[in-house]
Amino acid sequence: MKTILQIALGVIAAIGGFVDIGDLVFNAQAGSSVGTPALWAVPVGVVGIMIFAEMSGRIVAVSKKPNFVLVKERYGRNLSTFTLVASLVLTVLTLSAELGGLGFVLNYFFDVSVSFFVLAALFAVAAAIYFLPFGGLERVFGYLGLALLVYIAASLKLDPDWGEIGRGFVPESHSAAVYWYFVVGLIAAALMPYEIYFYSSGAVEEGWDRSDMKVNRANAFVGFGLGGLISVGILVASAQVFKPAGISPTSIGSVALIAQQPYAELGLVLALIGILFAVGGATIDTAFSAAYNLAQHQGWKWGKRFKLLDEPRFTLSLAGFLLAGFAIAETGVDPIELTEYAVIFSIPVIPLTYLPILLVGNDRNVMGEYVNGPLARVMGWAYFGLICVLALAAPVLFVATNGGG
């Protein structure tokens, strides 16, 4: 029973951490712009994060080493420092977008000012980080983030053309640059570097060992798989609601309106609650990811498993990244636009993030009997090749399409 509970909680935590503001925005915009023909990109990205998350969790269970420790060991000082700086810049940009999104969502409920609620969100996130244990953070934001399941229900309620949806899961050649921009963005949104940094560090926080292989697989496959289904639901529903009207989501509130059409006020409220806690969970994930990376690179003591006041460098860096994200969000920058930049320009960093996982997962001297099997090895290298292609294509497509416009 204990194992079943651990798996269930891990699945719920994975849902809350996977569908962040990047997935919400890119899936809604892809649905409104190019529609269901881009659907195939969602499972491509989801399978990628499943493979590398499972591999990363397995490495932690065997070696107790989170991802940025692998980066430091495999790359040496110069390249690991470059990877650190690049990942911190992009993670803070993502953190800013998440905090800005929280401000907008809270303002929809209370209508005071977005700036005020960005500040309120900062205090709420800081309080949750300080007072809740690591498992509690996952469970609170994960459970309440399940309200996003309304998008799956909405996609069914809107009675889409199932033949068209089926064809959307088959990759096809397309001449429009904007189509490929969204395809690349959808894949990248599922593979954001902070997700894998947080996942591997979270496995250390929870003390995973060889007995937790089933928990790891449930997190990686079932949890991220359910998150992928929510992403598909958002894209399909957006294609039904926005595309025929020629409307593109311009705010996080626009994404919530997708659920209002089939379910009226109840759908809107459920969508806003789901977005609030999914984005809130992602805000915590990104803040911790930045602090984890810096601490692991510098060799500091880190983690919620210790008292925060007993590890001042880690705690100060965590607070500093939250404040940096808050400062950017308070400039009034559009969270949607900031998310687009963060997703697209995270892609060149993705190969540097995932290569050490693949190298260690394939290393029998480290992994022993838990080394990657033939399928994991082939799939891992295939996805790494795909990631490298995306890293070259993403900035070009961003410029060519003016950010998908």
pLDDT bucket at 296, cuts 50 / 70 / 90: very high
* Cut 0.75: pTM above it: yes
**pLDDT(8) > 60:** no
Look-up: residue for tokens 């491509």? Answer: 44
**Could you report the per-residue pLDDT of 135-193, keeping only the tens digit for each?**
778 778 878 888 999 999 999 999 888 999 999 999 887 778 888 888 988 888 888 88
Tokens of 120: 């309120």
**pLDDT(405) > 70:** no
What is 10-282+330-400's CATH number? 1.20.1740.10
Cα separation, 61 vs 119, in Å, equals: 38
DSSP assignment letter at 91: H
Question: Residues 32, 249: contact at Cβ < 8 Å?
Answer: yes
**Could you report the per-residue pLDDT of 10-34, keeping only the tens digit for each?**
555 556 556 777 778 888 989 998 8
- pLDDT score, position 224: 86
Cα separation, 304 vs 138, in Å, equals: 12
**Could you report the per-residue pLDDT of 97-150, keeping only the tens digit for each?**
899 989 989 998 888 899 999 999 999 999 999 898 887 787 788 788 889 999
Give the dihedral sign, CA 84/86/92/94.
negative
Angle subtended by helix axes 21-33 and 224-241, to nearest 10: 40
Tokens of 152: 């799956």
Cα separation, 308 vs 314, in Å, equals: 8
Q: Could you count the other beta carbons within 10 Å of the beta carbon of residue 1? A: 5
**How many Å is the maximal CA-CA distance in the chain?**
58
Cα separation, 171 vs 186, in Å, equals: 13
- pLDDT score, position 19: 75
Question: Residues 126, 320: contact at Cβ < 8 Å?
Answer: no
Look-up: residue for tokens 């110069």? Answer: 78
Residues 186-202, mean pLDDT to the nearest whole number: 87
- pLDDT score, position 12: 58
Terminal-to-terminal C-alpha distance of the chain: 51
Look-up: residue for tokens 């997962």? Answer: 361
Question: Residues 237, 56: contact at Cβ < 8 Å?
Answer: no
Query: Cα-flanking dihedrals φ and ψ of residue 231, to 5°?
Result: -60, -40
Locate the domains of the chain by residue range.
Answer: 10-282+330-400
Question: Residues 183, 38: contact at Cβ < 8 Å?
Answer: yes
23 vs 96, residue with greater confidence: 96
Question: Residues 14, 223: contact at Cβ < 8 Å?
Answer: yes
Cα separation, 18 vs 42, in Å, equals: 12
- pLDDT score, position 221: 87
**Could you report the per-residue pLDDT of 228-279, keeping only the tens digit for each?**
899 999 999 999 999 988 888 777 888 888 999 899 999 999 999 999 998 9
What's the length of the chain?
Answer: 405
246-253 long-range Cβ contacts below 8 angstroms, 24+ apart: 247/32, 248/29, 248/32, 248/33, 249/25, 249/28, 249/29, 249/32, 249/336, 250/336, 251/104, 251/336, 252/21, 252/24, 252/25, 252/101, 252/104, 252/105, 252/279, 252/335, 252/336, 253/104, 253/105, 253/108
184 vs 398, residue with greater confidence: 184
- Percent of the chain clearing pLDDT 90 (strictly above): 52
- pLDDT score, position 1: 56
Cα separation, 388 vs 112, in Å, equals: 45
Mean pLDDT over the full length of the chain: 88
- pLDDT score, position 167: 93
Tokens of 1: 């029973």
| Residue partners of 405: CB distance under 8 A and separation at least 6 | none
**Could you report the per-residue pLDDT of 36-84, keeping only the tens digit for each?**
999 999 999 999 999 999 999 999 999 999 999 999 999 988 999 999 9
